[in-house]
A and B are shown apart, each in its own frame.
Chain A
Amino acid sequence: MNAPINPSRRHSYFEATARNRVAAVLDAGSFTEFLPPEASQPSPHLAVLDIPGAFDDGVIVGSAALGGQPVLVIAQEGQFMGGAVGEIHGAKIVGLLRRAMAEKPAAVILMVDSGGVRLHEANAGLIAISEIMRAVLDTRAAGVPVLALVGGSCGAFGGMGIVSRLCSAIVMSEEGRLALSGPEVIETVAGVEEFDSKDRALVWRVTGGKQRYLTGDCAELVEDDAAAFRQGAIDVLAGWTEPAPSSATLRAEQDRLTSRRQRFAGMRDGLEVWAALGVPDPRQIPIMDRDSLVALRKGLPA
């Protein structure tokens, strides 16, 4: 990642389908799909609502290698119903995580691209999300790191935003977004004065990859390039040891989040947060390239 990427060689992760991402991020030819489209089943809930389903219900699961290490893989398809989690979609993710607990691969790679629960499936979707959360924590407790990659067009919102933060670490691009309630949800509930979801620059200053990197929510910031995500994932996993769950660690994290919430209370824009973090000229952040931003973060006061 140190060498500048030739733009003509770049394969946008943001634009790619889930299947293209799986092919480009993992070791070439190493992927074996579990429950491939011909063996999977479209959502029965969507059929009842007279909506065409997808054979794989919008998520691909399987085994592969990453940098020669065995991994299990989950990739959500953001173009199908916003990557939303329905009953079968969720069951495939949970099943894969349970397999990881038994097989103990080097890691689980979770390519998140989702607005959260598939509201068409109501309770089944909500239960699926809670089962995924439990399964991510159980997988980590079994000593298997779960690495979230966030750089798709739907970002990581709602329940999948929570799931992403439950993972061991997140690799993110500037284009990726990570939050709980999505911008349109906030605007619908609290009004445009609270949050203008049409203001794309504001949305990215609040939820985008650069903001998440500066506040420490993602471990690694990468270019919008499948090869950069691949290298970012390899770098984060190199020498990663999944910490044993302990209440002391949880309390320390809780304290960190509480003090962060107090520190940034009342701020309405990433620009204010960056100024509080000690960034000399916050207005430069949105136009900075990835390498300059990484260098800038290294120089910020702890």
Chain B
Amino acid sequence: MENLEFRFNAQPARPAAGAALCGVVGSGNLEILIRPGDEADACTVSVKTSARGFGKIWEAVIADFASRHPVGGTRIAINDMGATPAVVTLRLGQALGDYTGGAQ
């Protein structure tokens, strides 16, 4: 397992729920939990992944997501069981959709 921590500047999110969970920690899948964070214009992400050595790819995938969506003021926690970048992006979008009530 590898623990990864990231922080990205992002436009503030407008939460509709106190927390949102998306996905399952199953083979090729992951779960994403979004909660309110401490800084309104930044997003912190902590990843626990079963696949070692993919830190740069995680950083690129999440940085891309944070640049395209208002995710400021959130704390994102991820438990991963080998999801591909496409699945990670899909689940991030779903989780943010639940967290903001569909308004992105």
Partner-B contacts on A (CB < 8 A): 17, 19, 36-38, 42, 47, 50-56, 58, 77, 79-81
Chain A to chain B contacts (Cβ below 8 Å), 11 pairs: A37-B21, A37-B31, A47-B1, A51-B1, A52-B79, A54-B31, A55-B21, A55-B33, A58-B25, A79-B25, A79-B29
Given known contacts A37-B33, A42-B79, A80-B25, A52 and B49 CB-to-CB distance under 8 angstroms: yes
Assess the A54–B33 pair: CB atoms within 8 A: no
Given known contacts A37-B21, A38-B18, A50-B1, A55 and B77 CB-to-CB distance under 8 angstroms: yes
A77 to B18, CA, bound (A): 23
B7 within 8 A of A: no
Assess the B35–A80 pair: CB atoms within 8 A: no
Assess the A37–B80 pair: CB atoms within 8 A: no
Partner-A contacts on B (CB < 8 A): 1, 18-19, 21, 24-27, 29, 31, 33, 35, 48-50, 77, 79-81
Assess the A36–B19 pair: CB atoms within 8 A: yes
Residue of A nearest to B26 (CB): A79
Could you tell me the distance in whole angstroms from the C-beta of B62 to the nearest C-beta in chain A?
Answer: 17
Q: Is the interface of A mostly helix, strand, loop or mixed?
A: loop
Assess the B24–A79 pair: CB atoms within 8 A: yes
Report B-chain residues with C-beta under 8 Å of the C-beta of A47.
1
Assess the B18–A52 pair: CB atoms within 8 A: no
Assess the A52–B33 pair: CB atoms within 8 A: no
Could you tell me the distance in whole angstroms from the C-beta of A81 to the nearest C-beta in chain B?
Answer: 8
Residue of A nearest to B79 (CB): A52
Residue of A nearest to B78 (CB): A52
Report B-chain residues with C-beta under 8 Å of the C-beta of A38.
18-19, 21, 33, 35
Residue of B nearest to A54 (CB): B25
Given known contacts A37-B21, A37-B33, A52 and B26 CB-to-CB distance under 8 angstroms: no
Residue of B nearest to A78 (CB): B26
What 14 additional pairs, Cβ within 8 angstroms, besides A38-B33, A52-B49, A79-B26?
A37-B19, A37-B31, A37-B33, A38-B19, A52-B25, A52-B48, A53-B25, A53-B48, A54-B31, A54-B79, A55-B77, A56-B21, A79-B24, A80-B26
Within the complex, which residue of B26, B50, B79, B80 is in contact with A55, where a contact is CB–CB below 8 Å? B79
Assess the B24–A52 pair: CB atoms within 8 A: no
Could you tell me the distance in whole angstroms from the C-beta of B28 to the nearest C-beta in chain A?
Answer: 10
- Residue from B21, B27, B49, B77 with most neighbouring chain A CB atoms (10 Å): B21
Residue of A nearest to B27 (CB): A79
Residue of A nearest to B51 (CB): A52
Given known contacts A17-B24, A50-B1, A77-B24, A55 and B18 CB-to-CB distance under 8 angstroms: no
Report A-chain residues with C-beta under 8 Å of the C-beta of B50.
51-52
Assess the B1–A54 pair: CB atoms within 8 A: no
Residue of A nearest to B35 (CB): A38
Report A-chain residues with C-beta under 8 Å of the C-beta of B81.
52
